[in-house]
Amino acid sequence: MAGTIPHKPRILVPEKVSQDGLALLSGEYEVDSRPQGVSPEELLTLISDVDALIVRSETKVTAEVLRAGSRLRVVARAGVGVDNIDVEAATAGGIIVVNSPAGNILAAAEHTVALLLATARNVGRADRITKAGRWERGKLVGVEVGRKTLGIVGLGKVGMKVARMCIGLGMKVIAFDPYANPDLVRQTGVERLVPRLVDMLPEVDFLTIHTPLLASTLDLIGAAEFSLMKPTARVLNVARGGVYNEAALLDALNNGVIAGAGLDVFTKEPPEQNTPAWELVHHEKVISTPHLGASTVEAQENVAVDVCTQVAAVLRGELPTSAVNAPLILPEEYRALKPYAKLIERMGGLYTQHFASPTTPAGIGGRHFELVYHGDLAGVSSSRPLLAALVRGLVSPFSDTGGRHVNIVNATAVAREKGIVIRETHAHSGSATGGEVYASSVTLRALAVPEGTESQQDRDKKDGGDAGSQVIEGYVSGNTAYISRLDRFEASFSPEGTLLILHNHDEPGKIGGVGSVLGRHGVNIRFMQVASLAKRPKSLENGRSEVVVLGARDDTQAMRASSLEEGVKKNGNEALMILGIDGDVGKEVIEDLRTAEGILNVSLVRL
C-alpha cells in the first residue's frame, strides 16, 4: 500500500490580519484567510479541521469553539489582550494560546504624546472652529509642554516609552508605580518615584495612566484625586477605560477643577448616549479618539508578524516566545508538578497581596526571594515550571492577564524587568516547619539582605530562623494546596478565593467583633481560622543551594520594618485571623475592620 501524503497544517484567520504576517505562513501551511469575518455558527463549522487559529478582537474563541477544534494546537491573538479567548478551556484542552504583548508599545506611547500635545495646544477645538469658518486665535491660547511636569502612573513598557519621549520634549517626569524596578527607573531619566499617588497629584501639569484595569485600578482617579490637582492640569488616558471615574472627570472639567483631558478609551465603547462618557466625547475641553492607541500600520504589521512567527514555531513543535498559558513541558512531567506549581503560584500571589500590597512603596520591585523545595520535590529534574509559577504569582495581582502571560519561556525576562532575583534551594527534608512531615513541601522566603553577603545559616542564627519574618510555607495533600505558615504564624488553610487576613491582639471577643463588621456589610464568611505564633522556626538542614539569577540587580531593598511591632509589645500575644469570604469587599469594609479595637492590620487577598 502506498504511503499516505501528510496534510499541510491548516490555519484559519477569520478576521483581517496584516498580509506581512500571513505571508510568513503561506508557503508551508494552508492559510484560510477571511478578512470579511465569519459568524459564530460558521466558526464552529470551520474549526473542526483547523490546526491553528489567528484572531484579533472580534472573534470569540469560546470553550465550545475550542472543543469543536479537535485538531487545534494553537490560538494566536494578533494583539495584547486575550479577553475574547477562553484561556482556561484552551489549557484544559492542551491548546497553546499566544499573543503579541510588545507589538503596539510604540504606537500606544506615540498616541499618548499626541494627545498630550493636542490638549496643550487646543488642537481639536481649533480644528473645529477653523473648519466652521471662524478665525478665533484669542480663544485658543495654549500652553507649552517644555519645562512642565508629567506624572506617570504605571511604568511598564508603554509608561517607560512615554517617559523617554516626554523627557526628550524637555519635560520633568515623576512617576508612581509600587512594582517598578528602581534601578531601571533611574536609568530611564525619570526624576523620582513617589511613594503614594496623592503625593504626585498636586505637582503635575499633565497626568497619564498606563495600568491594566483591575479591582485596584478601577476609578483610581476620582473626585478626591481631581481636587488635589492644579486647575491648569490636564489628564490623558490611552490605557483602559475606567481608571478615571468618568462622572468625576466630567464634573472636574465642568467646574474648572482641571483644564482638559485627552481620552482614547472609555468604559463602554462606543460610549452610549446620555452617559458621562458620551458627554466627555463631546466636551469642548476634551480631545477624544476612538481607541486608536494601537491603530497604526506598523503596529498591525508588528503584531501580525509576531503571532504568525509563533504559530509557525508551535506547528513545528518549537516553543513560542509569548505563550499565555504555558508551561510547556512533557505532559507526564507537568502532571507530577502541576499541584506544586499551583501551590507556588498561590504563594506568590499571597506574598504580593499580603506583604507587598500596592500601598507599599517598594512593592516587589528589586526583591530577592528564596524558594526552598523539601522532600521528594527537592529531587525534581527540572524546576523551571515552579520558578515560572512563582513569578506568575508574584506579578498576577497587578497584571491585566492575571499573570497568565508568564511562562517558562518568558519568566526570566519578566523577573528581570521587575528586578526580582530568585534563589532555589533543594533541602531534601520533609516538613519545612518541623511539625507534621509531608512527602514534599515548599518554603517561600523574602530575603532581607543581598545575596552573597550572608549565608542562610548566618541569617538563621541571627534572626531565629527566617530573615525578616516574611515567610510562606505550604504543602499539597492529594491535589489540594495548603498554607502551613504565614509570616510568624502557624496555619492550615487552602489558598483560594477571596481571603481577609487580619493581624490582631490575641484577646477574647475579636472573632465576634470581626463577624459583626462583616455582617453589617453583608459579607458572608465561608471559613475562619485563627493562626497562632509559630513555636520554633526550623532552619534548613543539609540543603544544596542553586542560585538562579532572574533579575538584573546586585542588591536588594531592605525588608520593610513591621509597623505593628509597637502595638504588639504593648498588648503581648498576637494572632492572625484568616477568613474565606463571599460578597463585595470594598474600601469601607476594610477601613471598618482596620479601625476595630485590637486589629493591627488587614489585607485583602484574591486568589
What are the CA-CA distances from residue 17 to residues 27, 56, 108, 307, 388 (Å)? 17, 8, 19, 10, 31
Active site residue 490: no
Q: Please give the grid coordinates belonging to residue 28.
A: 508551508
Q: What DSSP state is assigned to residue 467?
A: G
The C-alpha atoms of residue 34 and residue 86 are separated, in whole angstroms, by 22
Task: Give the relative orientation of helices 105-120 and 297-315 as an angle to the nearest 10 degrees.
Answer: 160
Contact 82, 55 (CB under 8 A): no
Please confirm, yes or no, whether 291 is among the known catalytic residues. yes
Q: What is the phi-psi region of residue 86: left when phi exceeds 0, alpha when psi lies from -120 to 50, beta otherwise?
A: beta
Around Cβ 292, how many Cβ atoms within 10 Å? 15
Bridge partners of 10?
30
387: CB partners within 8 A, 6+ apart? 371, 408, 411, 422, 424, 548, 550
In DSSP notation, 116-150 reads HHHHHTTHHHHHHHHHTT---GGG------TT-EE
Which member of 240, 368, 374, 488 is catalytic?
240
C-alpha cell at 355: 506583604
Q: Which of 136, 144, 269, 541 is catalytic?
A: 269
Radius of gyration of the chain (CA): 26
Number of neighbouring beta carbons within 10 Å of residue 218 = 12
Please enumerate, as own/partner, the contacts of 568-571 that have beta carbons within 8 Å and a separation of 24 or more. Answer: 568/505, 568/600, 571/505, 571/507, 571/598
Tallying the residues shown for the chain, one arrives at 607
Nearest of 514, 472, 493, 471 to residue 580 by alpha carbon: 493
536 is known as an active-site residue: no
- Cell for 264? 482614547
Give the torsion through C-alpha atoms of 472, 477, 481, 486, to 10 deg. -20
Buried b / exposed e over 39-56, threshold 16 CB at 10 Å, is eeeebbebbeebbbbbbb
- Alpha carbons 243 and 196: distance in angstroms, whole number: 16
Rounded distance between C-alpha atoms, residue 415 and residue 388, angstroms: 9
Contact at 8 Å (CB) between 384 and 406?
no
Distance separating alpha carbons of residues 384 and 367, to the nearest angstrom = 19
In the numeric block, the cell 483602559 is attached to 240
Element (H, E) at 514: helix 510-520
* Helical segments of 355-455, H only: 384-395, 411-418
Find out whether 170 and 146 touch, Cβ atoms under 8 Å: yes
Q: How far apart are the first and last CA of the chain?
A: 57
Distances (CA, A) of 348 to 155, 182, 353, 503, 529: 21, 21, 9, 20, 21
Catalytic residue among 10, 291, 521, 560: 291
Which residues belong to the active site? 240, 269, 291
